[in-house]
Structure 1
Amino acid sequence: MTDYVRKILTSSVYEVAEQTPLEKMALLSERLGRDILVKREDLQPVFSFKIRGAHNRIVHLSAEERARGVICASAGNHAQGVALSATRLGIRAVVVMPTTTPVIKVNAVRRLGGEVVLFGDGFDAARAHAAGLAERHGYVFVHPFDDPDVIAGQGTVGLELMRQHPEPIGAIYVPVGGGGLAAGIASFVKFLRPEIRVIGVEPEEAASMKAAIAAGKPVPLDQVGLFADGVAVRQVGEETFRLCRELLDDIVTVTADEICAAIKDIFDDHRAITEPAGALALAGLRRDIETGNAPQGALIAINSGANVNFDRLRYVAERAEIGERAEALLAVTIPEKPGSYRAFIRLIGNRAITEFNYRYAPGGSANIFVGVKLARGDAEKHEIITLLEGNGLSVTDMTDNEVAKLHVRHMVGGRVAGMDDERVFRFQFPERPGALLKFLEGLNDAWNISLFHYRNHGADYGRVLVGVEVPEPTRADFFAHIEAIGFPYWDETENPAYRQFLELPRNR
């Protein structure tokens, strides 16, 4: 550790990097009853801590090595650090990036002066290609994590933490991909304040350091998930493994949903949007608090980066409430008869409905896919399930069902025979508890609901698609009823999307 501490103390990272703030998570701290802080590495010039290690490696190149130029392989953050550092020092930089790299990172590397080569569908393929180019053209390979100078550069995060928080610290949670950041921080923190626990956090679908420690050596994973692309590393480095095995107190793994919840936590507290790998450490911190494994004292998470494609946020928003156990997804079987919806919603009570999908099917039972907002997590979910089952309804918990969350929730529906009297309407509901029940109570049992699709998207008004069987003689009465409900509506029965995908041909 002494050698690494010396390297960290003499690092040149501040020629290009910033000392980032350590900020309290006030809202999350109050909610969880702990003192929680985040280190804002997302505020670096390249929106990631990677600038530290990249520059500390490149600045140590000899004149002859600088003349040859540098090359690296990266999913984006290390690439930006290499490009910025090399450009500042007047050195050619070639960057090999997987073809799956978010466009925002590719464009950023080019903007910073790097020559981008897109190759392979993951980091390991890109790294192999970069090694081949280095051998053919004589470039100096700048490793993203398994290099003493890179590790020492990342270790300056630990140096800053010790200066910024001299008060007691229970644990520091660090995201782990290849292990450079965790190895660097642990080297400094354990030397200076060995009582502080340093805990690595990995995604369940890319837990390469956990696998290496279990095997006693770096081992390749069969496959890695790409949601947290900044830590999607198939095999950790030899040097980072050596340090992490010796210095890390634990490794926590988390799900993609838990990462999404942590992204939301950071936004709620700081109005900042982080990339999945950037919120990884906070997700692990939350997991330890919830399982009772978090030590006493302040808890610090490294927010490692903010390089996320904007369109990724659709997925994040969809999954965040599930990740923080604030939403239950249930498949419920109710009697296929008028009034069943109303009775079901009354059982739910004042809880907010976040999603409600249904399509009529012949038979005596109706299957609905429903989301319910939770105030008390899994305990409340189990109470709801017990309540519904106690009233004779069949319930299947879909909250952790990946197929249901990703696909089936959007596929409830289809064409149904014998629905010649079906009319389809789009309603605008105020987003408040009781609005759905008010709508259902406004319709009496004379009309059967045949289709229902609703999803809360966080706006003031929800938009709902409703199908109702309205025989011709009762239509005037039906329209009088929906006018009395008072919600804005649009008749979509002639909409081509409905007619093509949800309606069977019928006589008009």
Structure 2
Amino acid sequence: MKSFQDRAREAEAAMREVFAETPLQRNDHLSDRFGADILLKREDLTPVRSYKLRGAFNAMRKVLAAAPDTSRFVCASAGNHAQGVAFMCRHFGVQGTIFMPVTTPQQKIGQTEKFGGSSIEVRLTGDYFDDTLAAAQSYCDQTGGHFLSPFDDEDVIEGQASVAVEIMQQMEGLPDRIIMPVGGGGLSAGIRSFFGAKMGYTLVEPAGGACLNAALAAGAPVTLGQIDNFADGAAVARIGERTFARLADLDPSDAVTVPEDRLCTTMLEMLNVEGVVLEPAGALAVDALSDVAEEIAGKTVVCVTSGGNFDFERLPEVKERAQRYIGVKKYFILRLPQRPGALKEFLTMLGPEDDIARFEYLKKSARNFGSVLIGIETNRADNFLVLERKLVAAGFTYRDITNDDVLAQFLI
């Protein structure tokens, strides 16, 4: 029987008939910042701007080899898996039915339809992914189609391991550490299974979808009660059974979570400094460098930038979250006295670097005081300390709601 490594090598070789290997690039900016040799494995540069087409290719290749009359493949996905399956359906000349949630952004739907062309049909079903998945599986049962899992499939894991094959071919030696994102676990299970204990690993999850950490704590996959879909390419409620079996022996200290707001600062840094467009999940590995900075000093590190399918309509949200994380944008509810000159008095407290980004009266019928929602941007977080001291000295009552999730959800 062939080893996993041999099968991964065969999968990688077969892929070269469809798309070129992705580059492994040294990043001078990150290398200088962390005092290490930082290499980016640019999976954001595949034909569908993510690594997902690797697993889709290998799984479909094997199904068609075993059952050449298979004519329809089915998947459920809100993003990169859908695009990978669509691309490969057109390549193999088979039909694909792709179920996507009704809430899927039109940009992702359009990309999926572009890659698949006449070979695929997109069906928008369900407000939540669980409903979409159930509809896709039911459709498979009715039509006899072959369901393509986004991660919990041995052939998919084997296909994602082709990333490791390329890394090995592109380096003179092996890296000291590989940092990669985790969603359902297909990529991390494939790379770690290929390299084994030859290097260190850091597996990265968004804080709002830390299903690997939950599974490591419980000793088995568990379903998260709630997830934050901001990093939608990695925000998974439950890690795969097959993938976790390959990751269960991971040291919990090697599984890190990063806050979504901090992730936004990394996305902006890579865009503004390096001109690299990364989706939230695609930036996870780069963002985690700050969590392992002491461990990687002087080492050779590969970060897998797993995807670049970013809708620029989300850029204002990314900027907003990044500003709030680094403390240069805040929101206050200010209790403003209803007397002439009160607003002018407040405005004189603003410094030369402070700018009002939002101003809205919340109560217009109060006789003596009015509540105002005010958003302020500045250049340095310390400027807010100065402003708040002035407010207190002048007797103004205020509340900082920047990090109050409940109030921010309704007011901001």
Q: Fold match, TM over 0.5?
A: yes
Q: Do the aligned residues in 1 keep the contact of 2:161 with 2:191 (CA within 8 Å)?
A: yes
1:309 paired residue number:
311
The C-alpha deviation readout for 1:203-226, integer Å capped at 9, x for no partner, is 222222222222111122223333
Question: Are 1:95 and 2:94 counterparts?
Answer: no
Q: Structure 2 vs 1, CA of residues 397 and 341 (structure 1 numbering), >3 Å: closer, same or farther?
A: same
**Aligned mates of 1:33, 1:369 — CA distance in 2:** 41
Summarize the alignment of residues 372-411 of structure 1 with structure 2, pairs less than 5 Å apart. 372-375=377-380, 385=388, 388-389=391-392, 393-409=396-412
Larger Rg: 1
Question: Are 1:39 and 2:41 counterparts?
Answer: yes
Q: Do the aligned residues in 1 keep the contact of 2:351 with 2:387 (CA within 8 Å)?
A: no
**Aligned mates of 2:58, 2:354 — CA distance in 1:** 52
* 296-305 vs 382-391, greater mean Cα deviation: 382-391
Code of the aligned partner of 1:370: G
Q: Do the aligned residues in 1 keep the contact of 2:331 with 2:376 (CA within 8 Å)?
A: yes
Q: Structure 2 vs 1, CA of residues 68 and 160 (structure 1 numbering), >3 Å: closer, same or farther?
A: closer
SS in 2 for 1:67: coil
Code of the aligned partner of 1:161: I
1:77 paired residue number:
80
SS in 2 for 1:10: helix
- Share of identical aligned residues, percent? 35
Code of the aligned partner of 1:66: P
* 214-223 vs 332-341, greater mean Cα deviation: 332-341
**Aligned mates of 2:39, 2:390 — CA distance in 1:** 39
Shift of 1:333: 5.0
Residue-pair matches, total: 400
Question: Are 1:160 and 2:166 counterparts?
Answer: yes
**Aligned mates of 1:373, 1:330 — CA distance in 2:** 14
**Aligned mates of 1:259, 1:54 — CA distance in 2:** 27
Summarize the alignment of residues 163-242 of structure 1 with structure 2, pairs less than 5 Å apart. 163-164=169-170, 169=175, 171-191=177-197, 193-194=198-199, 196=200, 198-242=201-245
Q: Do the aligned residues in 2 keep the contact of 1:356 with 1:369 (CA within 8 Å)?
A: yes
**Aligned mates of 2:385, 2:5 — CA distance in 1:** 50
Q: Structure 2 vs 1, CA of residues 136 and 368 (structure 1 numbering), >3 Å: closer, same or farther?
A: closer
Shift of 1:277: 2.2
* 13-22 vs 37-46, greater mean Cα deviation: 13-22
2:274 paired residue number:
270
Q: Do the aligned residues in 1 keep the contact of 2:329 with 2:375 (CA within 8 Å)?
A: no
1:256 paired residue number:
260
SS in 2 for 1:152: helix
Question: Are 1:363 and 2:368 counterparts?
Answer: yes
Question: Are 1:127 and 2:133 counterparts?
Answer: yes
Gaps spanning 5+ residues in structure 2: where?
A: none
**Aligned mates of 2:78, 2:286 — CA distance in 1:** 21
Shift of 1:52: 0.8
**Aligned mates of 2:127, 2:83 — CA distance in 1:** 19
Code of the aligned partner of 2:75: C
SS in 1 for 2:161: helix
1:491 paired residue number:
none
SS in 2 for 1:5: helix
**Aligned mates of 1:225, 1:205 — CA distance in 2:** 5
Shift of 1:405: 4.2
Q: Do the aligned residues in 2 keep the contact of 1:334 with 1:366 (CA within 8 Å)?
A: yes
The C-alpha deviation readout for 1:134-179, integer Å capped at 9, x for no partner, is 2332222221111122112112223333444557856433222111
SS in 1 for 2:321: helix
The C-alpha deviation readout for 1:401-431, integer Å capped at 9, x for no partner, is 234544424xxxxxxxxxxxxxxxxxxxxxx
Summarize the alignment of residues 6-21 of structure 1 with structure 2, pairs less than 5 Å apart. 6-11=6-11, 12-21=14-23
Q: Structure 2 vs 1, CA of residues 212 and 335 (structure 1 numbering), >3 Å: closer, same or farther?
A: same
Summarize the alignment of residues 57-68 of structure 1 with structure 2, pairs less than 5 Å apart. 57-63=59-65, 65-68=67-70
Q: Structure 2 vs 1, CA of residues 336 and 71 (structure 1 numbering), >3 Å: closer, same or farther?
A: same
The C-alpha deviation readout for 1:36-65, integer Å capped at 9, x for no partner, is 543321211111110111101111224462
2:51 paired residue number:
49
From the two aligned structures, give the one with the greater helix fraction: 2
Q: Structure 2 vs 1, CA of residues 245 and 64 (structure 1 numbering), >3 Å: closer, same or farther?
A: closer
Shift of 1:75: 1.8
Summarize the alignment of residues 379-458 of structure 1 with structure 2, pairs less than 5 Å apart. 385=388, 388-389=391-392, 393-409=396-412
**Aligned mates of 2:390, 2:171 — CA distance in 1:** 48
TM-score (norm 2): 0.83
What is the root-mean-square deviation of aligned Cα atoms in Å?
Answer: 3.3
Give the one of 267, 285, 292 matched to 1:281: 285
1:321 paired residue number:
323
1:138 paired residue number:
144
Code of the aligned partner of 2:101: P
Q: Do the aligned residues in 2 keep the contact of 1:16 with 1:51 (CA within 8 Å)?
A: no
Q: Structure 2 vs 1, CA of residues 326 and 189 (structure 1 numbering), >3 Å: closer, same or farther?
A: farther
**Aligned mates of 1:121, 1:214 — CA distance in 2:** 30
Code of the aligned partner of 2:404: N
TM-score (norm 1): 0.69
Gaps spanning 5+ residues in structure 1: where?
A: 410-508
The C-alpha deviation readout for 1:175-214, integer Å capped at 9, x for no partner, is 22111011112223434x32x2x22222222222222222
Q: Which has the higher contact order (CA 8 A, sep 6+)?
A: 2
SS in 2 for 1:15: coil
Q: Do the aligned residues in 2 keep the contact of 1:77 with 1:230 (CA within 8 Å)?
A: yes
The C-alpha deviation readout for 1:427-451, integer Å capped at 9, x for no partner, is xxxxxxxxxxxxxxxxxxxxxxxxx
Q: Do the aligned residues in 2 keep the contact of 1:170 with 1:299 (CA within 8 Å)?
A: yes
SS in 2 for 1:355: strand
SS in 2 for 1:282: helix
